[in-house]
Amino acid sequence: MKIIALVGSLRRDSFNMQLATTMKDRYKDKLSIEVADLRALPYFDQDEEQNPPQVVKDFKTSIAQADGVLIVTPEYNWSVPGVLKNAIDWTSREDKVFIGKPVMVVGATPGAMGTIRAQLHLRDILSSPGIQAKLLPPASNEVLVNFAAQKFDASTGRLVDESTLNFLDAKVNIFIEFIGEVKSLNV
Ligand SMILES: Cc1cc2nc3c(=O)[nH]c(=O)nc-3n(C[C@H](O)[C@H](O)[C@H](O)COP(=O)(O)O)c2cc1C
């Protein structure tokens, strides 16, 4: 299954990018995860939405062609980072590539709350008319990686906390089932 990952941090040593990379490696037998280059996207400009820059067209195509989307979000000021919101806004106009697309949300923070506030905002965004993603039902499936500084190995840049990895394994399997269910409903 082809998955496009949107990672909301541009920071060199980003925990969220490390989480995405961990998932790409760990689930490579089940999922082909490609991390989108959100740094390359210009700011959303409504004057350009009908004929956006090629990099935006390519980004939208990568979502359209994916079986599902993995959103890996930091929390900035109790919400989603602008870089992620900007990327999502591009997808919500003209060809609305998120509509009906299975989405899994995960997030990591050095803080205690595990990005829950950002993820709650993200749920609203993903339900808006221009997006209408099929979000993996959050009950029991929230992946909130808190105290990230203790759970990632700085030398390898990977998530190493065993109980978090076991939890993630279970949730990824549920997401794979969910993608199958959404596909069967859409055909
Ligand atoms: C502008 C800004 C706002 C932040 N606000 C929050 C916040 O509301 N909640 C939180 O848990 N961490 C917050 N943080 C700390 C981030 O969780 C931390 O910088 C984290 O490492 C960012 O994710 P990354 O490692 O993937 O870059 C904030 C950081 C920045 C730069």
Q: How many CB atoms lie within 10 A of CB 186?
A: 10
Q: What is the pLDDT of residue 187?
A: 67
Nearest CA to ligand 1 atom 24: 14
Element (H, E) at 175: helix 162-186
Q: Which residues of the chain have pLDDT under 50?
A: none
Q: Is the CB of 21 under 6 A from ligand 1?
A: no
Q: What is the pLDDT of residue 142?
A: 97
Domains annotated for the chain, with CATH where assigned, are 2-186 (3.40.50.360)
Q: Is the CB of 80 under 6 A from ligand 1?
A: no
Tokens matching residue 129: 């008319």
Contacts of 91 (CB under 8 A, 6+ apart): 59, 60, 63, 97, 98, 130, 131
Q: What is the pLDDT of residue 186?
A: 76
Q: Where are the alpha helices (DSSP H) in 43-161?
A: 54-65, 82-91, 116-127, 148-151
Q: What is the pLDDT of residue 11?
A: 98
Q: Is the CB of 16 under 6 A from ligand 1?
A: yes
Q: Is the CB of 81 under 6 A from ligand 1?
A: no
Q: What is the pLDDT of residue 146?
A: 98
Distance, CA 109 to ligand 1 centroid (Å)?
A: 6
